[in-house]
Structures are given as C-alpha cells and as structure tokens.
Amino acid sequence: MSTPFLPKWPVPAFVAPDKLAAIQAEFSREWLEMTASAQQGRLAPPSDRRFNAPAWAGNPASLLMAHAYLLSAKAMNQLVDAAEVPEPVRNRLRFSVMQWTEALSPANFLATNPDVQQALIESQGQTLSMGIQNLFEDLQKGRISQTDESRFEVGVNLAVSKGAVVFQNRLIQLIQYAPLTPTVHKKPLLIVPPCINKYYILDLQPENSLVKYAVEQGFTVFMVSWRNPLPFEEDGIDTLGWGDYLQEGVLAAIDAVSDISRQKQINALGFCVGGTLLASALALAHAQGRQPVAALTLLTTLLDFNDTGVLGVFVDEMHASLRESQIGQGGLMTAKELGTTFSFLRPGELVWNYVVGNYLKGKAPPAFDLLYWNADGTNLPGPFFTWYFRNTYLENNLKVPGRLSIDGHPIDLGQLSMPVYIYGSREDHIVPWRSAYASTGILSGDARFVLGASGHIAGVINPPNKQRRSYWKLDAEPSSGRLPDDADAWLGGASEHPGSWWPDWAAWLADHAGPKVRAAKSLGDARHVPLEEAPGSYVKARAV
C-alpha cells in the first residue's frame, strides 16, 4: 500500500542517523497499520480524552485525522528525546513541541471537531452564539474563564473560617483563627502561604480547609495574608525586595504571634514559595541570634533549585537580565503574566480544554473553588521577583551557606536545627518531589518526609473526610533523624498508606506543640487588638 501523505522528514543534524531511521521506520509502520484499519472500518477511537465523544467514532475521516495527529505528536516527541543536545536544551525543545502539538490538535477547531459540529447543528447555532459571547466576556477579563466565578466570593463561601486580623503593616495582615476546642496546644502554629497566590487555598471551604482541620485538632492557628500590590500605589510597595518580605512579612508575623501567645518559640508552616520565604527568614533570625520557631513544616517547597521541573525552561541569564532592567528597581510582575505562564505549563488542561468548552461548545465552565482561587492571582514587586528569580532559579544561591546576605547577615539554611516535616507531591510539575526531598539534606534538624499522591495543589488539599488518594512514608524512621541522601532510596523503603497525609502531620505537630491549655476567650491581646474580621481586606484586593 502506498503512503501518499507520509511526511517527508527533514534530517536534523543533531539526531543520530540510526535513531532517526528507527523513528521513521516506526512512524511508517504505524501509519500503514492505521490507514489499513481505517480502510477496513476497524479503526478504534483513540484513548485520548479529546477524541472520546461518539461523534469522533461516527466520522471516519475525523477519526483518521485524530489518529494521524497523535502519531505525529508521538514522533515529534521521539525526535526531541533522541536529540543529541544538552538536557536543558532538550527540555526547552520538549516544552516547545508540547505547546505546538497541544495547539494544533484537531479538537481545537470548529472545522475539524465533529463533536462541536454536531452540537452546533443540534442547537441550531446556539452553541456558536454562546461561544462568541463567552469569548467577548473573557476578552474583557483578559483571561480564559476556568470556572463560574459568579458562584464564589471571598469571605462569603470561601475563606470563611472564623477569626480576626490582629496585626497589619504595609505588606501583611495577620489572621488569628477562633478556637474550636476547649483546650489547645500551648505552642501556636503560624502558616506562611505563597505570596504569588492568595492564602485561602488553605481555607477554601469548610470541607476542604486545612485551616479548619488544624484548628479542630486543637492548634491555635495564625495565617499570613500577603498584600496584593496594585499599580500606582504611593507607599513604595512596588520597590520592596526579598529582605523586606523576610523582615516585614515573615519575621513581623512571627514576632506578633509570639507576643500574642506569650511563647518564645512557636511552630511554623510554609507552603511553596511561602516555605522558601519562611526558611530564609528563620536563617536570617538565626544570624541575628534568634531561634523563634520550635518545629517547621514545609509543603511542596524548594530550597535546592537544582531541578525546578518544567519551570526550568524559562530560566536563563537573558531572561533574568531583561526582568532586572524592566522592574528590578521598581514596578510589578503582574498576576496576569504569572497566571498565563502557569497555565501554559499544562496547556491541554488549563488552556485548550477551555477554548473548546467555552468558545466552540458555548458552555459555561462549572463552579470549582480551586479554579476560582487559581484565577485570583497576585502581583509581585519587581525587586522581589528579580531577586528571587536570579538567586534561586538561575543561580541556586540560597542553599549555599553564606553566599547570600540580608541586611548584612549571611544566610545559612544549614543552621536550622529544629525538627522539620517535609511534604512533596508525587506528580508535582512545579516542585518536583525529589527537589522537595533535597531539603532533608540542607536542613540540619531531624527530618520527616512524606510523599503524597497527585500534584502541587490537589496533593496538598486532601482532607481526610474525602478518603481520597494516598501517601508514602517510612514506617520506621532512622533513629539518627537523618534520612537517606537519595530520594529514590527513601521511596524504596517507604510504604503506601491510603487516604490523606493530614492526620500524620497533625500527630507529628502535636508532639512538638507542647501541652494542652485552656483556649483563649478572645483573639489578639492588648497590643494586637482585632482590626477586622477574617478574611481581612488584603485578600479581597483583585489584581488589575
């Protein structure tokens, strides 16, 4: 059988001839098998979810197109894998191929998607009319809608745990949550969320709120709510840097929590960039002669930026220098740009899926609290962003003892000797779990590492009442407190447990939180009078 549509492959100089020949031979064989099956009416629908609607199976030409697309995409990725280039270049090639192949899927176009065409006919054109309306609304927003945003409001059905803002400066509001138990552990817990997002990912709704769960376990919980810098504000917030976030953000919050609780040492949890900030702030405090935290929790946090996963494709000197020239002395890295970047890390799920649903099929996306939060981004001060980008992602300076100084104090994460609970998510594309594990070799305290199923957010937000997913841990941890140097060696000795990792963490934290005492009847103290009810005003500021 002839193959008139078989592509004539260019011969890339960086792919070895034998590997190229093997890829071509495999492509030719599968092409012939595919076209033969199509001619005989035996071509089965592909397993790819984009092509699983009955309309694809009922249209032989469209079905063949879907298979040809998937076969071509497979061959393109094989070429990238076979390329004789340095691994960073390969990762960029892989990322570029992913963008193109995801964008060129026949499911993304009215003319080549039989499911969309069928819906258009059956609705007598209403799907197209609604799709155009959805498109115009999203153009006004400047982003693709991923959920029905009319169904959510911060402080109404999101971030509803009872509490009050008990401290505020130009960078943070500090929320103290009301107790839900008659007695509480003596040492309170301060949570430092990422400043790149709103804090309420940890307090979405009562049934999936880590805040509510921790309060129910008898912990006095405080939360940092980062201010969302907006354009043209006159208090200089767009000129703040990494050191300002440590001093006015994390350490100011620690001091306030210590004052309110009357504890010289508290416990602290950092999530994602919040964990990087928290560890950096504690290293700064140590350099200043203070040790304000007794036990530390780091969730999907990078301290060693040697492997940053797919985000590494954006990291190079040219990008760092460009940003420094643009916003290094002042200005904003906008939430819109950050959000677009993160969406295109998974374009199939977070971009084209909604292009098809919102615009081609004219559907409104369903209400989903996590995706509402995902769209509620924050801006970052330019100096903060550029310092962070260069000293972590580009140069990996933070993990090197003494290489960085804040306000004249050298930073050494290895001096942090408190017990630490480190969590990573197995399918995390933002903080690869092995990179999260690397923190066990940087910090000097007894470390407990737990690996959860799923990704960066879904792995963390996994309440026990759902009985979903699983996690891995060492059932018998080394008496020395030192885990294996190699992450895969740790995984080889770990056992899988069904359900949420939250109870494991709560039990660990209870061992480091001191005895139970009577819960306070009021929030704050004489010096930290409640300013407003939770969730406060900072979290409600929308990026523009």
| Pairwise CA distance, residues 253 & 59, whole Å | 61
> Residue 361: CB partners within 8 Å, gap ≥ 6?
116, 119, 127, 131
Map residue 298 onto helix, strand or coil.
Answer: strand
Strand order in the sheet with 266-271: 495-498, 470-473, 447-452, 420-425, 293-299, 266-271, 189-192, 221-226, 172-177, 163-168, 532-533
Indicate the burial class of 53 (C-beta count within 10 angstroms; 0-12, 13-18, 19 or more).
middle
Q: What is the 3-state secondary structure (H, E, C) of 92-145?
A: HHHHHHHHHHHHCCHHHCHHHCHHHHHHHHHCCCHHHHHHHHHHHHHHHHCCCC
CB-based contact 513:295 (threshold 8 Å): yes
From residue 119, alpha-carbon distances to 53, 54, 433 in Å are: 11, 12, 42
> Residue 304: CB partners within 8 Å, gap ≥ 6?
396, 399, 435, 438, 439, 441, 442
Written as six digits, the tokens of 215 are: 């309060």
From residue 505, alpha-carbon distances to 297, 298, 351, 515, 519 in Å are: 9, 11, 34, 17, 21
Q: Are strands 495-498 and 470-473 parallel, antiparallel or unpaired?
A: antiparallel
| Pairwise CA distance, residues 194 & 277, whole Å | 8
Active-site residue identified among 76, 154, 272, 281: 272
Written as six digits, the tokens of 419 are: 């017990």
Written as six digits, the tokens of 198 are: 């709103």
CB-based contact 340:374 (threshold 8 Å): no
| Pairwise CA distance, residues 438 & 435, whole Å | 5
Is 195 among the catalytic positions? no
User: Buried b / exposed e across 518-542, counting CB within 10 Å, b at 16+?
Assistant: eebeebbeeebebeeebbbebbeee
Closest CA to 495 of 473, 519, 467: 473
> Residue 535: CB partners within 8 Å, gap ≥ 6?
154, 155, 159, 160, 175, 200, 203, 225
Q: Which residues are catalytic?
A: 272
